[in-house]
Each structure stands twice: as structure tokens, then as C-alpha cells.
Amino acid sequence: MSDKLKKTLIAALISVALAAAVSYGLISQDTASKLETQAEQALSGDQQPAPQNAPGQVPSPGEAAPPNPAPAPQNPASRP
């Protein structure tokens, strides 16, 4: 397999995994976008440092997105 094909397949797998994580509410869409951008940069060989928090640094409140609350279960028997 050529290197370009390997990198394309890895990028596709990362995208699918991130989409699944977003759909299950494990991570926010913002986080998935940032991770995907970082993965693409790493795979393309562009080693431009992405802005990240230093280890031990607390993220600002705007960076941490609260998890999406699950919809309340509905009881079909209570409907008229």
C-alpha cells in the first residue's frame, strides 16, 4: 500500500470514530473538529504546533462544552 493511501485510510477511520463519539455524546463537535484538524496536520507532515493547554492547565469555561443531556423518556401510555 502506498503511503498516501495509508494516510487517507487512517484519516477516514479517525473521522468515523470522532463522528461516533460525537453522536453518542462522548465529546463535543468542537472537540472533534480540533482533534480531526490535529490528525490531518500530523498525517500531512505539517508539524505546525496547534494551540493546546499546557499539562495541568485548567481550560477556560468557554472551552469546555457541557455534555448534551439525553431526552427525557416518554411514556406512550400516558398520551390520550
Tens of pLDDT along 9-57? 999 999 999 999 999 999 999 999 999 999 999 988 755 555 555 555 5
What's residue 3's pLDDT? Answer: 86
What is the rounded CA–CA span in Å between residue 37 and residue 50? 9
What's residue 2's pLDDT? Answer: 85
To which residue does cell 427525557 refer?
A: 72
To which H or E segment does residue 40 belong?
Answer: helix 29-44
**Number of Cβ atoms within 10 Å of the Cβ of 35:** 17
Residue 71 has pLDDT above 50, yes or no: yes
What's residue 56's pLDDT? Answer: 52
- Model confidence at 74, in pLDDT bands (50, 70, 90)? low
